[in-house]
Amino acid sequence: MGVYTFVCKSSGNEWSAKQTSGGDIEESASSTYDLERKLVQAALSRDSGVVSTSFGFVTPSSAVCQ
């Protein structure tokens, strides 16, 4: 099971996420809930198994998802 870390940022009405450490996963959505759901699906497509997520705000317009 791998560990995937994403930096998430809000721009207007859209949230975007980019994988850190040279990863190639990028997603965007209109809410943090939908963004986290898309990130889980992207991680599952690369790594089968159980997924546990953590989403924490750094500022009102930025967050980290792991």
Q: Over the stretch 10-61, which tens digit does the pLDDT of each residue have?
A: 998 999 999 998 789 999 999 999 999 999 999 888 887 777 889 999 999 9
Phi first, then psi, for residue 63 (nearest 5°) are -155, 170
Instruction: Report pLDDT for 20.
Output: 92
The residue ranges of every structural domain in the chain are 3-49
Dist. CA 56–CA 48, nearest whole Å: 24
Instruction: Report pLDDT for 1.
Output: 59
Longest dimension (CA), the chain: 34
Instruction: Report pLDDT for 54.
Output: 92
Specify the pTM.
Answer: 0.86
